[in-house]
Each structure stands twice: as structure tokens, then as C-alpha cells.
């Protein structure tokens, strides 16, 4: 009886794991097409730095916002998780129901098949807005045109203790992550 229960649990775990991976991959490599200058609409927020967007009558695409990193919002006891959830909610609030202009990166896709770019609501850069609010970290590993502005705005948010920078434990963890990734001062 015990071994039967173990076998059932292992099979169920494998089944649900495979289904979760298929779902993740479908979002990661949505096979639609976009170009710089396209106007798209938010379909779904995946996390604070990755979205599913689409043009009317076209298949949606997964777009990774270049230049930022939002921490994992699913880890319950991580001090940064509440800020990751706030980043996701704020980005959704900014973009939901609005026309978004796409500006693709010089390298338009990453190794996972996601499009890489910047989204604008009117003239407002969504990623830059998250940095200004202290809800996302600047990722400088791969250079991008607005990188100096993003780094400057992160410094201002940090000095003003906005968002995660206002929580001592979160700020220390974020600063450590930036150092580890080579994205910030020691």
C-alpha cells in the first residue's frame, strides 16, 4: 500500500511538472511577430519584467523589458517578493487597456525566444517608471541605449528610499544581487 501511494504521488508530480513546463514554454515562446514602432496591447503580465502583448488580429508575443530585473514574486519568505508583486501590479495598471508602442532591442530575441524591447505608454517608458518607483532593478549586463538614464534614476530612487530601497533588508539584498550580477557598486 505504501509503495503504491509513493508511485501515485511520483506519477502525479511528473504529470503536473510536465504540464507546468508546457504552460511556461507556451508563454516564453509565443510565436507571434512584432516590429519596432508597432502598437500593441497588454494581454497578460507574466512578471514585473516580462509581458504577453499582442496586436489586433495577430498572435501574442512574449516581450522581456530590457534593462530591468524584477525579483521573483512567488517566493513567500523573500523580502523582495512584495516589491516584485508591486512591480507587476504597477506595470499592469500603467499598461492595461492602453496602446503600447514597442521599441525592440538591437538583438530582438533572447535565447528563450522572447522578444526584447522597451514598451511606452504615450511617451512614458514602462521600465523606467518601475525603476523610478524603486520596484525594479537596473540590469546592465547587456548594454542598451537608455542604460545611463536607468542607472541615474535608480540612484535617485535609492537615495530617496523609494520602493524596495526604503526597506533596509530589501535594499541590502537588492544591492547584493546587483553586485553579484555586476550591475552595481559594491
Rounded Cα distance, 79 and 41, in Å: 31
Residue 116's SS3 state is strand
CATH code (residue 93): 2.40.50.90
Residue 105's SS3 state is strand
Q: How sure is the predictor about 179, in pLDDT bands with cuts at 50, 70 and 90?
A: confident
Could you tell me what percentage of the chain is helix, strand and coil, using 3-state DSSP and rounding each to the nearest 5?
Answer: 40, 25, 35
Domain count, the chain: 1
* Residue bearing the bigger pLDDT, 17 or 19: 17
C-alpha grid cell, residue 106 = 538591437
C-alpha grid cell, residue 157 = 530612487
| pLDDT tens digits for range 33-56 | 899 999 999 999 999 999 999 998
Q: What is the pLDDT of residue 100?
A: 97
> Would you say residue 29 has pLDDT above 60?
no
Q: What is the pLDDT of residue 77?
A: 78
Residue 26 lies in a domain: no
Residue 3 lies in a domain: no
> Would you say residue 157 has pLDDT above 90?
yes
Average pLDDT of the residues of the chain: 88
Residue 31 lies in a domain: no
Residue 13 lies in a domain: no
> Would you say residue 84 has pLDDT above 50?
yes
| pLDDT tens digits for range 91-150 | 999 999 999 999 999 989 999 899 999 999 999 999 999 999 999 999 988 889 999 999
Residue 10 lies in a domain: no
User: What residues make up the domain containing 173?
Assistant: 36-180
Residue 17 lies in a domain: no
Q: What is the pLDDT of residue 28?
A: 47
Amino acid at each position: 500500500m505504501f509503495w503504491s501511494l509513493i508511485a501515485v504521488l511520483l506519477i502525479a508530480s511528473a504529470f503536473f511538472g510536465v504540464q507546468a513546463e508546457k504552460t511556461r514554454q507556451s508563454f516564453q515562446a509565443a510565436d507571434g511577430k512584432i516590429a519596432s514602432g508597432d502598437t500593441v496591447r497588454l494581454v497578460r503580465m507574466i512578471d514585473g519584467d516580462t509581458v504577453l502583448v499582442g496586436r489586433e488580429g495577430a498572435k501574442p508575443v512574449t516581450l522581456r523589458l530590457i534593462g530591468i530585473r524584477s525579483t521573483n514574486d512567488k517566493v513567500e519568505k523573500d523580502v523582495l517578493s512584495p516589491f516584485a508583486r508591486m512591480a507587476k501590479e504597477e506595470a499592469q495598471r500603467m499598461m492595461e487597456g492602453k496602446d503600447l508602442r514597442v521599441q525592440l532591442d538591437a538583438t530582438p530575441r533572447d535565447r528563450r525566444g522572447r522578444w526584447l524591447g522597451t514598451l511606452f505608454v504615450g511617451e512614458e517608458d514602462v521600465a523606467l517608471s518601475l525603476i523610478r518607483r524603486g520596484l525594479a532593478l537596473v540590469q546592465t549586463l547587456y548594454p542598451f541605449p537608455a542604460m545611463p538614464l536607468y542607472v541615474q534614476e535608480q540612484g535617485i530612487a535609492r537615495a530617496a528610499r523609494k520602493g524596495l530601497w526604503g526597506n533596509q533588508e530589501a535594499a541590502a539584498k537588492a544591492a547584493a544581487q546587483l553586485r553579484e550580477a555586476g550591475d552595481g557598486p559594491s
